[in-house]
Structure 1
């Protein structure tokens, strides 16, 4: 039988664990600040992109998707799958109706609804997470492809082009990459930045 000292040790260990969890955890954000993750209303077709731009995420933060599990889900996808609204090969799929994704590494992360037709109606979200010092990683060519259709062949030198100053917000890097990539790509990237 365990004595009072064992119980006191267990309580102290639980309290220490709670303090550790609270000290390491970041903020949790309900996606879109809407009642639920769903197709954006016609009056706010860009609700998810505007919401993501309004939040200054940090490492350790979490994003919370709330939705009826019998009607929807959320999948984390690659940039190209995000552009194509393709949910068949997700990075991660959650469908419990109360899905939390922890933002533990810097970069851009992409989420879409796996319900048929929802993504094409605007139920998609891209989130930028800065490094611990607050600077953002420059977007990769794949990140650029998530927001702008790429020509059949990328312009010469595009893959090695500088994508913006180190630490700049990703939208600044999109504009910098467009400067030398030709008029078609410039127009497509400008449209993508507008959508962000």
Structure 2
């Protein structure tokens, strides 16, 4: 396990995570604002899980945390962190199973990851989302991100142009405001 919160384990993916990953990433409502297309077959999920498991959160590039409920050991989502080559900044993205949304799990997990990143000395974490994805934008603001811009009709995805919202969070804001709530 890499990170722990009161209700969650944030850990490396394991082979037995493939069915759950396939299930929540196959939900068309979850995939709507994401870069993949639903459904995600079990075969594709198995490949993704292996790719995720082979990465390292302390090395530049993408790392995907598996979000697991402590109560029942169920995989409920994932958080991706792209650590920049300079190791001083990162990008963040997250996905949570629809039936697990609205309980504060994503907020708890994102706070834990941000706290870890800033504790490691990163200066900046960025995120972006489809402007129509209001719950994700609200979560980013709730944990301390500030909107830095909007790019109208910037991304062509799934047959349509979408506006992108750009967010940023600096280490000094995280520390001064204690917006992280220390992963609680």
Instruction: Please tell me the TM-score bracket, short chain as reference.
Output: 0.3 to 0.5
Give the structure with higher Rg (CA): 1
TM-score, normalization by structure 2: 0.32
Which structure features the higher share of strand residues? 2
TM-score, normalization by structure 1: 0.31
